[in-house]
Structures are given as C-alpha cells and as structure tokens.
Structure 1
C-alpha cells in the first residue's frame, strides 16, 4: 500500500514510521527542510520505551514529483487543511482515498470540497508523538487506538484494508459504523478543556481545581451534546461530566492542552474546528450556542493581540 502522510510532524511520523516498518510504501511530507533532510539522510529516528531505532522512509517538503498515492493521511493543523490538500492534488488519483485523522470537526467537509466526498474517510487517533529534533521523535504507539470509518458508516473493503494495514503496523485500529459519533465524542473532550486552558493559561491540575471553570466547561459540553443530538449524531456519552472526566484521565498535573501550547508558541489555534465547529453546527440546526461562541471570541481575541504584538513598532516622525 502506497501511503502519503500529509503533515508529518511528530504524530504523522509516529504513524508513518510504524507503517513503514511494517512494509508499507510511505512518504512523509513536511514543510521543514531540516526535518526532511535528516530523515532522508539518516532515517526517521523513533524513540520508544524499548530504545531508539532508525526507520528507512522517504520524506519530502511537498507533493511535487511524488507518484499517485493509494492513501493520503491528512495530519496538518486544521487551519492548513485546504492549502495542504490543494497542494496534494497531483498525488490524488482515480482510486486514492483521503483519510483525515486531525483534531476537531469540519476537515472532512474541506477535504470533500477539493477531492470529492466519495474519496474522504475520517477518523480519530490517540497515538502520540513529540518532536525531539529534526528527523527524531518520541513515539507513543503502544496501547493507543485509532478509529476510522466511511462518512456514511458503511464497512467498505477500502476502509477495512486501511485498518488491516494499520493493525499490521501495531497501530491498533478499528472500523466504526458511526465515525461521526466518534468524532463528536473526541470533540466533546476538546471542548471541555482546550479553550478554557488557553484563555486562563492554566495546566490541567490548576484548571481542575477551580469549580467555576468546571461549571463553564460543563455548560460548553452540554451545548455541544445538544447540538450533536439535534444533528442526528449518536454519542457514546450521556452526561457532560463524562467529557470533563475523560479529558484529564491519566494525565499529569502539569499537562498542557494543545491550544495552550499553540498560544504559548505564539501560534494561532484550532479553535475554529473545536468550539467553532459547535457554533457552526448549532447555527445549522437553529440552536444557540452562547457559551461556545464566547469561548471562540476570547481565543480569537488572544490571537489578535498576539498578532498586534508581533507588528513592528513604527518610528515616530
């Protein structure tokens, strides 16, 4: 199976490295010339609890010149989705499948607008990765599961073949007949803590110590659950507190949400595909979502302030 990992950062390299070790023909696409050069020169260095090893795998800074892929796994940041898939048109052939394993909700619609909805699969993964340097990552694959599926819930041969390839690589993967429900379940966990952590600057242990923040989180999740149900989505959670509890399960006191990490690096966040996705879905079914709308506004305000702070100071005349 010829697989292109579009957005091969830490997570993409963890998945792509495992697939390459299992015999798949993998290409890692990442915009960093240093990262790509290190992989092509020395292999992808995977650091695991069993030690460090180098995996021979091809890497590129763009899709230019690459052949048509059987599967394109999309792992770019949410806000880069359209640009990335537009740049990957040359590797999308008549039978290519495009699988999004990104955080949040709404990427599948952006991908479908470019390559056609019939090509798009969706999924969620709990595999982890940390970038240690160019071409070198800490890989968290063992014991982590991935769920993928057709958008209409059909168990097609193509989605089963991809799951089989992932499982051969030690990436524990199952096919879901309710992938939209799975995506919403993961979204609820992100809704519970991401924006609140980003706004307050608090790590998990501190966030969970403040009752008022818990109440706000539960209100945001309750809105999201109501919107999901009104949209015909089947959830696995019955009460908002389940998302709040799951969000912190097994994590250390000092753990930081990805949204907080992005803000600390001065980067824009994926808020539009998390709480923002709830607001858009609510508008489609005629349901107000004031808590999530307020959280989106606050994060966007922080992003705007960072942009202003980065502007050069104009000299006085």
Structure 2
C-alpha cells in the first residue's frame, strides 16, 4: 500500500518504520528539516528491545514530492490538524482514505471539512514512540493494539484492508463498529498519564513508582468515565485503574509520553484535546471534573512558562 504519514514525529516514525519493513511504500512528512535530512541520508533508526536497526525510508518536509497515496495517516499535533491537512491536499486522489490516529477528540470533524467526510476514518493506537535523536526512535509497538473504523460504524472493505496491512506489519489492529467508544477508550489512557508526566517530568517507569501519582491518575480517569457514561458513550472499560495500568503496560522504563516530549521540546501540548475534552464534555452533561481541571491548569501554567522563557 502507498501510505503517507502526515506528522512523522516519534510515533509516526515508529509506525512508518514497521509498515515500510512489511513492504509498503511509506512517506514520512515532518516539517522539521533535521530528522528528514537524517532519515534520507542514513535511514530511520528504530530501537526495539534495546537493539537498533536501520530502515530505508522516504522522508520530506512537505507533501509536494509525494504525489497521490492510498492512505494518509494523520499524526500531527491536534492544534496543527487544519493547517497540515490543508497544505497536503495533493496527497488526495479518487480512492484516498484519511485516517486520524491523533490523541484526543475532534480531529475527524476538522479533516472532514477539508477532504470530505466520506474519506475520513477514525482510530486510536496504543503503540508509542520516543525520539532519541533526529531520525532515531525508541519504538513501543509490540503488544500494543490499534483500533480503526468508519465514522458511521460500518465495517467497510477499505477499513478491513487497512487493518490487514497493519496486522501484516506486526501492528495488532482491530476494526471497530463503535468508533466514538473506541476514541473514548484511548482518551482514558491519555488522561491517566499524559498530564501527570508533563507536570512531574517523569518517564513511565518513574511515574509508576509513585503511589500518590497513581491515585491522581486513577481519579482523573474516573471523572472521564463518568462523563462518557453521562454522554451516552459505550466504553469497553469502566474500571479507572485498568486504564491506568494499560497506559504503561509493556513500555520501556525510560519511555516518555507525547505530552512530556512536547514540553521538553519547548512546545505547547495537546492538553485541550485530552484532559480539556473531559472538562468540556463534563460541563455539557453536568458532571464535575475537578481533577482534570487542575491538571489542565497546571499544564497551561507550564506552557505559559515556556512562552515567557523559551527553551534553549
């Protein structure tokens, strides 16, 4: 399959690397020149189980050299969705599908405005990636499942084909007929750990050594579950501690959440699309969300500090 990953950061490179190894033609789009130059010069380096391997990939800073593809996987930061997709419409042909695997809620509607709702698929992945250096990524794909589906819940031929391509690359992928429930299931994982690691600057391994942080993370998830139930969302998990444990299961001790990686790079986070989504939905359905409100406030404070004192 001819695939373009729009927003090939750490996770995008992890997915793109294993999809390339499985025989697909994958283009990695990253607006930053350093990782693109490194990958084109000597390949993408994947660290898996403590061992590095190099994969020859196609990388570019814009969609211009790519041409039409069969599948666009959108992994840009939530707040860049509209601008990134609007600048990459040259990727879209008659049969192109656009799959969002981004954190949080709301990207599908933005993408639909640009490419048409009939092209858009939604999904969530529990796979992860952590950048070690430009074009060198620690991957967390083993035992991490991915769920994709049509927005209307129909189990279509195209979504089944994409799942087959992913599974052939070792990315355990399932087709969902309840995509909103699937999205909320993944949101619970992000709610559990993302903001906490951003605030504390702890890796997953360090985070799970602190029982006080577990109490906070589980409380944030419990609020999200209450909001989902009140909103009529069908969840596969209603145990907040299960979401907390699943968030870090199988990941290396030194693995970092995307929210922490953003802060370490001196950029804003996706907090408005993660814990912020819980707060907004909670306000709509009348469910209090004090823990998530506090986590959002703390991350916003850190972002304000970055703006006033940019990282050097």
Q: In 2, Cα distance between the equivalents of 1:287 and 1:35?
A: 43
Displacement after TM superposition at 1:60 (Å): 1.1
Deviation for aligned residue 1:74: 0.8
For residues 50 and 199 of structure 1, what CA distance do their matches in structure 2 show?
27
Match for residue 64 of structure 1?
64
2:46/2:52 contact within 8 Å kept: yes
1:196 matched to 2:196? The reply is yes
Instruction: Tell me by how many angstroms 1:213 deviates.
Output: 4.5
Q: Does the C-alpha gap of structure 1 residues 25 and 229 become closer, same or farther in structure 2, counting only changes over 3 Å?
A: same
Deviation of 1:50 (Å): 9.0
State how far apart, in whole Å, the 2-side matches of 1:203 and 1:20 are: 28
What is the aligned partner in structure 2 of residue 146 from structure 1?
Answer: 146
What TM-score does the superposition give when structure 2 sets the normalisation length?
Answer: 0.87
C-alpha distance 3-207 of structure 1, shift in aligned 2 (>3 A)? closer
Partner residue, 1:262:
262
Cα deviation for residue 309 of structure 1 reads 2.1
Q: Give the length in aligned residue pairs.
A: 312
Mapped pair 1:27 → 2:27: yes
User: Which residues of structure 2 form unaligned runs of 5+?
Assistant: none
Partner of residue 246, structure 1: 246
Are residues 120 and 209 of structure 1, via their aligned partners in 2, closer, same or farther at CA, if it must alter by over 3 Å?
same
- Is 2:88 the counterpart of 1:88? yes
Q: Structure 1, unaligned stretches of length 5 or more? A: 312-317
Q: 2:105: which partner in 1?
A: 105
Q: Is the partner of 2:97 in helix, strand or coil?
A: strand
User: What secondary structure, in the 3-state scheme, does the structure 1 residue paired with 2:83 have?
Assistant: helix
Which residue of 2 is the match for residue 315 of structure 1? none
1:278 alignment counterpart: 278
Structure with max Cα Rg? 1
Q: Residues 181 and 248 of structure 1: is their aligned pair in 2 closer, same or farther, counting only changes over 3 Å?
A: same
Which secondary structure does the structure 2 equivalent of 1:93 belong to? coil
CA distance in 2 between counterparts of 1:55 and 1:209 reads 35
Distance 1:178 1:279 in 2: 22
Distance verdict in 2 for CA 1:250–1:171, change over 3 Å:
closer
CA distance in 2, matches of 1:196, 1:157: 40
Counterpart of 2:131?
A: 131
Which secondary structure does the structure 1 equivalent of 2:94 belong to? strand
The change in CA–CA distance for 1:243 and 1:61 in structure 2 (over 3 A counts) is same
Deviations 1:259-292 (A, max 9, x none): 2333233221110111011122234434443332
Aligned alpha-carbon RMSD (Å): 2.8
Mapped partners of 1:118, 1:2: distance in 2? 19
Task: Find the counterpart in structure 1 of residue 177 from structure 2.
Answer: 177
User: Does the alignment pair 1:120 with 2:120?
Assistant: yes
SS in 2 for 1:104: coil
CA deviation after TM superposition for structure 1 residue 31, in Å? 1.5
Shift of 1:76: 1.4
Please give the alpha-carbon distance, in whole angstroms, between the structure 2 residues aligned to 1:114 and 1:288.
34
Which segment is superposed worse, 285-294 or 81-90?
A: 285-294
**Structure 1: distance between partners of 2:256 and 2:232:** 32
The alpha-carbon distance between structure 1 residues 285 and 67, as it changes in their structure 2 partners (threshold 3 A), is same
Instruction: Find the residue that maps to 1:95 and give its secondary structure.
Output: coil
Question: What CA distance in whole angstroms lies between the structure 2 residues aligned with 1:66 and 1:251?
Answer: 33
Structure 1 residues 239 and 22, CA gap change in structure 2 (3 angstroms): closer
Normalised by the size of structure 1, how large is the TM-score? 0.86
Q: SS at 2:143's partner residue?
A: coil
Aligned match of 1:300: 300
